Amino acid sequence: MVRSRATTAASRATAAETPATIMGSGSGTPAGAYTPNATARLVTPSAGHANARNAPPIPLGRPPDGDATPPRGLVPTHSRRPREGCRLTGGRTLLSRPYAAGLLQRGELPDLHWYNLIGHRLHRRINRTLPLLLPPHLAAPSRKLHGIHGCHLSCWLQDLVTVNGFDEAFEGWGREDSDLVARLFHAGVRRCNLRGSPVLHLWHPEEDRQRVPENDRLLQDCLDQRRVRALQGIGELEESAA
């Protein structure tokens, strides 16, 4: 997958073999070992900016930059639970610095069988065990903006096009995923929380947050205006490429 500001768009997928698009902006951590084994396309970012998410797709298999990795079967888990008028939002489990570094060095996926989870938690390799034990299921639809994890959400492709994708007006860390979700709300797309099957977040130093005040202002403008379409999104990229 990609960094914690990533987005997975399971484009009307109905089975593991159905094409999906995995998108996100990067943090510079190589996560090629965690590329899911599914028919999908990957949008690889540059420099960790929100505008990378509207970039053209490349074939899956090239190591992306990122700080989150999907567990096995995450794409089909999303694609088997689509709901018209909803987007799915999942959680994340944090991996410790030494545990994440060791997995990357060995090119391994973490061993998350239930009988190993207690040891992982006791040795503080992971911060939570319950979400990894729960079977995947959906909560009731809601319109809450709080608690969004940009590293783990999916929506219908047409809904993403309707809101004009991510807004490239956001730069640096923060709020571009909340802006996308707010505009989906404004377009009538509700939130369904996916319980179980969290993505695995790799440890990394905290990123520069100097742009957060400006990004907060952009997000508040979106909320106040109940904006649906991104100011600088997919449509503007298509125009500039024409």
Contacts (Cβ under 8 Å, ≥6 apart) of 208: 172, 173
- For residue 2, tell me if it sits in a domain: no
Higher pLDDT, 44 or 156: 156
Mean pLDDT of 47-51: 37
SS3 175: coil
Please determine, for residue 9, whether its predicted confidence score (pLDDT) is greater than 70. Answer: no
User: What is the rounded average pLDDT of the residues 31-43?
Assistant: 32
Strand-strand pairing, 86-94 and 190-201: parallel
**Does 1 reside within a domain?**
no
3-state secondary structure 146-208: CCCCCCCEECCHHHHHHCCCCCCCCCCCCCHHHHHHHHHHHCCCEEEEEEEEEEEECCCCCCC
241: tokens are: 């490429």
Q: Report if residue 86 sits inside a domain.
A: yes
Classify residue 207: in a domain, yes or no. yes
Helix (H) or strand (E) holding 106: helix 97-106
Identify any residues that bridge with 59 across adjacent strands, giving them in sequence order: 41
* pLDDT for 104: 82
The total number of structural domains in the chain stands at 1
Tokens of 142: 């809601």
Q: Answer for the pair 139, 87: CB distance below 8 angstroms, yes or no.
A: no
User: Any residues with CB less than 8 A from the CB of 117 and at least 6 apart, and which?
Assistant: 126, 129, 132, 133
Q: Give the pLDDT confidence score for residue 85 in this predicted structure.
A: 84
Looking at the DSSP assignment, which residues form a beta bridge with residue 137? Answer: 195
Sheet with 7-9, strands from edge to edge, namely 7-9, 21-23, 41-42, 58-59
Q: Which two tokens stand for residue 148?
A: 């969004």
23 touches 2 (CB < 8 A): yes
Task: Give the span between the Cα atoms of 127 and 78, in whole angstroms.
Answer: 23
Residue 29 has pLDDT above 70, yes or no: no
For 74-97, the pLDDT digits (tens) are 888 888 776 778 888 888 899 999
Mean pLDDT of the chain, nearest integer: 73
Task: Dump pLDDT digits (tens) for 198-231.
Answer: 988 888 888 788 899 999 999 999 999 999 999 9
Structural domain harbouring 200: 7-241
Q: Convert the pLDDT of each residue in 182-193 to its tens digit.
A: 999 999 999 999
